[in-house]
Amino acid sequence: MLKLNEILDEKDKRLKCVSKEVKFPLTEKDINIINNSIEYLTNSQLEENLENEKFRPGMGLAAIQLGIPKRYFVIVEELPTGEHDPQKFKNYIVVNPKVVSHSEEMIYAELGEGCLSVNREVPGIVPRHARITIEGFNELGEPIKIRAREELSIAFQHEIDHLNGILFFERIDKTDPFNGENTMRSI
Ligand code: ZN
């Protein structure tokens, strides 16, 4: 299983690189990274693991965060369930993604964005499109199209940024971190 200390820290220069397009079929190593990442992200969101120091909660992980400069990432989204129902998750595996359209409307995560490579809170607003449509491929090389809104839209934009060597806090206005607070919708 993936360990927290295998995830690159923000100080690691490799996170700044622009990852390369992936050729299919994926290697066995890539498949392992995908499966281990999904396992980690799912475990990290389970209520029973909230106090477990082996996990920091995360929704997405890009290959470069594990030192692999290839254009793919996974997102594990917790789905709404009834109060006493077991937690449910939906997995997204996205290779060579392209944003094909996005809303004009911008939003930001009210509590700020988190990142498994950034082990600190960074105050400020990270502007994101409220809705985006992505085209890319799944792990088998089959074309996929995903429409994402709200939190999921933020997660996709955060991960695509990783593929381009951008960390979320670089999108915060340096002179006025809360610039846009009154013009963008918070979620
Ligand atoms: Zn991140």
Q: For position 158, which CATH number holds?
A: 3.90.45.10
Query: In this structure, what are the phi and psi dihedrals at residue 16, rounded to the nearest 5 degrees?
Result: -90, -10
Question: How much of the chain exceeds pLDDT 70, in percent?
Answer: 100
Host domain of residue 56: 4-186
Catalytic residue ranges: 159
pLDDT beyond 90 at 184: yes
Q: Which two tokens stand for residue 185?
A: 């919708």
Q: ∠ CA(79), CA(43), CA(22), 5° rounding?
A: 85
Which residues in 42-80 are b (16+ Cβ under 10 Å) and which e?
Answer: ebbbeeeeeeeeebeebbbbbbbbbebebbbbbbbbbee
Q: What is the domain count for the chain? A: 1
4/58 Cα distance (integer angstroms): 11
Residue 34 pLDDT grade (very low, low, confident, very high; cuts 50, 70, 90):
very high
Q: Which residues surround ligand 1, an ion (CB under 5 A)?
A: 115
DSSP 118: B
pLDDT value, residue 1: 83
User: How far is ligand 1, taken at its centre, from the CA of residue 160, in Å?
Assistant: 9
User: How far is ligand 1, taken at its centre, from the CA of residue 84, in Å?
Assistant: 30
Please state whether the predicted TM-score (pTM) of the whole model is above 0.95. Answer: yes
Q: Which two tokens stand for residue 67?
A: 């030192």
User: How far is ligand 1, taken at its centre, from the CA of residue 107, in Å?
Assistant: 18
pLDDT beyond 90 at 95: yes
For residue range 69-78, list pLDDT tens digits in order. 999 999 999 9
User: How far is ligand 1, taken at its centre, from the CA of residue 14, in Å?
Assistant: 13
